[in-house]
Amino acid sequence: MRLLEKDKTIESEPDFVEHISEISGEDVRQCYQCGKCLAGCPMVEEMDLTPSQVMRAVQAGLKDLVLDSHTIWCCAGCETCAARCPKGIDLCHVMKALTSEAFAEGRTQSAPDIAAFHRSFLDTVSVLGRNYELGMMGLLKLRTRNLLQDVALGMKLFARGKLNLIPEYIKGNAEVRRMIRQVLDQPRPDRTGVSPVTTTHEDAGETPAPPGHGAGEAR
């Protein structure tokens, strides 16, 4: 299907709503645009599309519009929308499904810093079995190239003993790594009828993608 918007054509994928409903566990088609998610969202001022507009765009199969939006990266997961939705739809799950799709397709240009944060967090947990704040922030700054940003704040946290120089491992960190890789190596639901290809992660030098987002790629 093709939709016209002023002087440009937008491609529509009718099966996109079924795909997002499947991987999110939420029936997006049940949304009837009451607007309660929009009225209660604390992050709406940071969004280019409102939560209700995202839901309607998914229903209409406007994949490119949704996956290239900044909105899907802004969700704070506060569950206000889920608590207010008269149809019981957890919009936070839908947003996570959309960011999963965006990650898998490499469409992180609308929020590169947020995407870098997700990758840095998972890299740290994959190695140590838990978060290591100083290491995670180091990875984040290298990826975003904002090396001096937050230095003053970091010094204050270090002075108060909030940041440890030496990381702590947990018992069974290898099991945590195995579970993460098991999730990452699961083939993503395919909507083209073509059997998905599963890739495996090698121990040497590979950075896994964020939780629930397709196979990682070497970095």
pLDDT in tens, 4-22: 455 566 778 889 999 999 9
Q: Please check whether residues 39 and 131 belong to one and the same domain.
A: no
Q: Which of 5-14, 16-25, 70-79, 82-91 has the lowest mean pLDDT?
A: 5-14
User: pTM of the full predicted structure?
Assistant: 0.67
| pLDDT above 90 (res 66) | yes
Cα–Cα distance list, 59 to 28, 38, 84, 203 (Å): 7, 17, 20, 40
Contact 12, 2 (CB under 8 A): yes
202 or 153, higher pLDDT:
153
Q: Please check whether residues 121 and 159 belong to one and the same domain.
A: yes
Across the chain, mean pLDDT equals 79
Q: Please check whether residues 123 and 203 belong to one and the same domain.
A: yes
Residue at which a domain ends, from 49, 69, 104: 104
Cα–Cα distance list, 197 to 39, 82, 186 (Å): 41, 34, 10
Domain containing 95: what range? 2-104
Overall number of domains in the chain: 2
Q: What is the pLDDT of residue 5?
A: 53
Q: Please check whether residues 80 and 139 belong to one and the same domain.
A: no
Q: What percent of the chain has pLDDT over 70?
A: 80
Q: What is the pLDDT of residue 93?
A: 95
Confidence band for 71, pLDDT divided at 50, 70 and 90: very high
Q: Please check whether residues 94 and 174 belong to one and the same domain.
A: no
192 or 93, higher pLDDT:
93
Contact 120, 136 (CB under 8 A): yes
Q: Please check whether residues 147 and 202 belong to one and the same domain.
A: yes
